[in-house]
Structure 1
Amino acid sequence: MSRPTTQHLNPPTGAGAATIAGMFLDRVAGGANDEAFRFPAADGSWESVTWRATGERVTKLAAGLLALGIAPGERVAIVSGTRYEWILADLAVMCAGAATTTVYPSTIADDVAYILSDSDSRVVIAEDPTQLAKLRERRAELPAVHTVVLVEGGPGTGDDGDDGWVIGLDELARRGAELLAATPDAVTARIASIAPDDLATLIYTSGTTGRSKGVRLTHAAWAYQGGTLASERILRPDDLQYLWLPLAHAFGKVLLTAQLAIGFATAVDGRVDRIVDNLAVVRPTFMGAAPRIFEKAHAKIVTTVAAEGGVKAKLFDWALSVGMKVSEATLAGRPVPPLLALAHRVADALVLRKIRDRFGGRIRFFVSGSAALAPDLARWFHAAGVLILEGYGMTECAAGASVNRPDSYRLGTVGHPLPGTEIRIAPDGEVLMRSPSVMSGYHQLPEATAGALDDGWLATGDIGEIDADGFLRITDRKKDLFKTSGGKYVAPQPIEGKLLALCPYVSQVIVHGSGRNFCSALIALDPDAIRSWAAGQGLGDRPYAEIIGSPAVRDLVQGYLDQLNTQVNRWESIKKFVLLERELTIEDGELTPSLKIRRKKVEDAHRDRLDALYTS
């Protein structure tokens, strides 16, 4: 049997030696008057708070949890979208010596009840009446939950008609203030009792198949992540982060941990439809995002220019072609010829800078994670002067395993491992990792834990390779690979990524072909992009279903598929396709809360239409 390929670096000094609660106290003490967070106020402006103010609020909320009887190690769930109060609640839970159970606000009532019951959560911090309704609906199944704390739209005193089951966030802080008046060191004493290996977070994976599993992550796991990012100097104290990522997801959580370790400020607003508008106002220096955000931004820019046509479209295409030539030279380490450099300055002034201005004009880089980013899309943004650093990890390793650095990156890869993290490739191509941030196990699932961990090595389920320079490339999910009836293996994700980068009208795509004699695809189009295109074709007044079903739209998509098929192997080419009538959604169970497609569910829902492709 061949030996696995391994890539690893030395750990940073002291990584994993702290607790998140201790890191928070250190940050408050070391930068009390520095800006910590800013968030949207009721009047639409942005309100800013210092670390001192954040520390005072967190301490009262942590004391409030102690007043509710929360014991060390017990779970407190947060069912909320990304907002400043989510961060306060999470820090308060850990400062109370408890552990946060994270729940996406899009989770249906049945799954919320399962997560709260399986985690044995005692208190739930719920965002609003919508989330509270889910809890009330399943209250009989949640005997361990003795208190619900409502962030907005609820009671302030606990007199809510539920026998005190629901209280407001301000009420929790008030009870905390009373406890602190009697016992001033209650919270600091609890923090001092926390050990690095104590449970900090219980994150339920939004798996594409089966019930979610609770991933147990310790204080040491998160502290390692924060300490490593600080030692790598990828992020700086003078950075300003824009944070919209779901904080129920490990990617969002690790960026908060990095903030504690490094000290930069964060602007918080989880409303996805506000990202572009907010970036122009906040003008951050970096932002983490899933690939879908970059796909939509690219589609919006390209389709808007195409709709305008004429001289503007020709100028745009010229400027991007110049940017692409400069990008290729830069990535290859070649000098840019003088005439090309001159053309690039003109292209940048007229077009490329305007693309960057859409993101506030100060972005040093974006960080892409949670799913694969199409290399062609990364190259398009690089040509526009926008650097996207792709990283790799999973919930089971507290989000981060490897990442491209601003001064050392290779597009199409996920960079080098973090210091202290070892990555090797098994003989079958699966990526294995060993790291201080790897989970202690799946909650109450010893068999699943044993199946994922072997002598400290985590089996990721991803297929990858390490190049001669140590850059890790992820090619697909092991379970997503399929074999055609002709015996050829197909990795669908790279093909899907190519189509998403080629066609600005495609929103989601699933390449299908297991056991079939050719590959086909289920394709969902972006409603805004396709309506804009249809308006230019004289179809703008027709119902959306009629637009999607028109021969013109099929011809449009087929044209992009023809381009795609010139870039893949013959057995990977898409021979036929189905246009879906709408985008896939979280609400219909077709996407996970982290926007991964539940392939089997979607394929099963359209099985008849797929079968018809192979019989016609």
Structure 2
Amino acid sequence: MGHALGERYSKENNNNLLYSWKLKIARKLVFSKWQESFGGHLHFVISGGAALQPRLSRLFFAAGIHLMEGYGLTETSPVIATNYSKTPGNLMIGTVGPIMKNIEVRIDEDGEILTKGPCVMKGYYKAPKLTAEVIDKDGWFHTGDVGEIINGRFLKITDRKKEMFKTSSGKYIAPQAIENLMKESIFIEQAMVVGESEKYASALISPNFDHLHSFAHEHKIHYRDNKELIKNQMVLKTYQKEVNHANKQLGQHEQIKRFRVVCEPWTAPTGELSATLKLKRRVLYNKYADLLRKIYAYDAHEENKGSISFNGE
């Protein structure tokens, strides 16, 4: 009851009497225990360092814990934008909030976020060449992140510039935006979108195994291990349904044409994620090189044209 209700949290739903009544009950019966587990005095949490799934934000807000997402870099001392729920109109779930006072932000032609203001560093210590690479002659600091400004106020981060890739048709794809959309599904814990120099985008999916195991129990799916579970036809049809749902929200060239579900969770301790829970793409490309070759129908001895042939960490 609590999770499904919480993930529907929004300003519009809060004005719905039935939803508000259900949320009040959930806060008393379910979310009050969350509060207790945090000590009973937690009112807000600040999130940064990696992309935050909007459904998690909605869930925490429903629980009465305001989850504020912000954005900045060490070079910007460090905050550029942040959500703040105490002031009306200064919160938009799915963004990193309004741009702070005295800070300028503009989106470059290629989508990169540029910023200027008193928070920006003067330069890297004794490294003028490196400084010139990130601060242009007009004083704009190039963040390396790709994003957009919503409603003229709210900054939304969509990807890292260096992680964008181009398909063989010349269309650019921002993988992180698609991955975050896919992770809105309760069945998907992590996803990696690939397709550089290929005809179409594909994805590797690491399941939310806690939920998948519950799903298997509910539908009387018998399996010996995760490797056998992900090959089950009902499971594969379920993941196809989730991918189809994400595709409906994407442009034609961004849609995931093929995907594979893997049998391992991706974590920082096992090496697939960084300490801030970002994908280690090179590690994943190497780990699943054979699987990626099969997606694009390469022979075992054949070298691919694009991103599958990463080597090293």
- Which residue is 1:126 aligned to? none
Instruction: List aligned pairs for 1:153-192, cutoff 5 A.
Output: none
Query: Which amino acid in the other structure matches residue 228 of structure 2?
Result: E
Distance apart, 1:354 and its partner CA: 4.6
Q: Matched residues in 2 for 1:329 and 1:538: separation?
A: 35
- Which residue is 2:155 aligned to? 472
Contact 1:327 1:383 in 2 (8 A): no
- Which residue is 1:500 aligned to? 183
Question: CA offsets, 1:334-378, max 9 Å, x none?
Answer: xx2556544543444344545555544433222121122233443
Q: Matched residues in 2 for 1:605 and 1:446: separation?
A: 38
Q: Matched residues in 1 for 2:168 and 2:223: separation?
A: 44
Distance apart, 1:581 and its partner CA: 3.3
Is 2:12 aligned against 1:328?
A: yes
- Which residue is 1:371 aligned to? 50
- Which residue is 1:577 aligned to? 259
Distance apart, 1:384 and its partner CA: 4.2
Q: Matched residues in 2 for 1:447 and 1:589: separation?
A: 33
Among candidates 242, 249, 252, match of residue 560 of structure 1 = 242
Runs of 5+ consecutive residues of structure 1 not aligned to the other structure: 1-314, 331-335
Query: Which amino acid in the other structure matches residue 379 of structure 1?
Result: R
Distance apart, 1:593 and its partner CA: 2.8
Q: Matched residues in 2 for 1:409 and 1:451: separation?
A: 33
Q: Matched residues in 2 for 1:372 and 1:558: separation?
A: 24
SS of aligned partner of 2:257: strand
Is 2:204 aligned against 1:522?
A: yes
Q: Matched residues in 1 for 2:278 and 2:176: separation?
A: 11
Is 2:84 aligned against 1:405?
A: yes
Q: Matched residues in 1 for 2:125 and 2:272: separation?
A: 25
Greater RCO (Cα-Cα under 8 Å, separation 6 or more): 1
- Which residue is 1:461 aligned to? 144
Q: TM-score, normalization: structure 1?
A: 0.43
Distance apart, 1:389 and its partner CA: 1.4
Runs of 5+ consecutive residues of structure 2 not aligned to the other structure: 299-313
Is 2:294 aligned against 1:615?
A: no
Is 2:224 aligned against 1:542?
A: yes
Distance apart, 1:566 and its partner CA: 2.4
Query: Which amino acid in the other structure matches residue 453 of structure 1?
Result: I
Q: Matched residues in 2 for 1:519 and 1:599: separation?
A: 15
**Which stretch of the first structure deviates more once superposed, 402-411 or 581-590?**
581-590
- Which residue is 1:160 aligned to? none
SS of aligned partner of 1:451: helix
Contact 1:485 1:516 in 2 (8 A): yes
- Higher helix share goes to which structure? 1
Change (3 A) 1:525 1:457: same
Is 2:95 aligned against 1:416?
A: no
Change (3 A) 1:510 1:316: same
Contact 1:500 1:506 in 2 (8 A): yes
Query: Which amino acid in the other structure matches residue 67 of structure 2?
Result: I
Instruction: List aligned pairs for 1:5-404, cutoff 5 A.
Output: 315-316=1-2, 319-320=5-6, 324=9, 327-329=11-13, 336=15, 341-354=20-33, 356-404=35-83
Q: Matched residues in 2 for 1:555 and 1:459: separation?
A: 43
Question: CA offsets, 1:434-483, max 9 Å, x none?
Answer: 34443454466543222112354321011222234422122221122223
Distance apart, 1:431 and its partner CA: 0.9
Change (3 A) 1:537 1:412: same
Query: Which amino acid in the other structure matches residue 159 of structure 2?
Result: D
SS of aligned partner of 1:396: helix
Query: Which amino acid in the other structure matches residue 509 of structure 1?
Result: A
Distance apart, 1:613 and its partner CA: 1.3
Contact 1:319 1:348 in 2 (8 A): no
Change (3 A) 1:440 1:581: farther
Query: Which amino acid in the other structure matches residue 593 of structure 1?
Result: A
Is 2:281 aligned against 1:599?
A: yes
Distance apart, 1:432 and its partner CA: 1.3
Contact 2:13 2:20 in 1 (8 A): no
SS of aligned partner of 2:236: helix
Q: Matched residues in 2 for 1:342 and 1:527: separation?
A: 32
Change (3 A) 1:317 1:380: closer
Contact 1:531 1:540 in 2 (8 A): no
Query: Which amino acid in the other structure matches residue 461 of structure 1?
Result: G
Q: Matched residues in 1 for 2:144 and 2:181: separation?
A: 22
Contact 1:373 1:390 in 2 (8 A): yes
Identity level (%): 37
Work out which of the two has the higher radius of gyration on C-alpha atoms and give 1 or 2: 1
Q: Matched residues in 2 for 1:318 and 1:607: separation?
A: 36
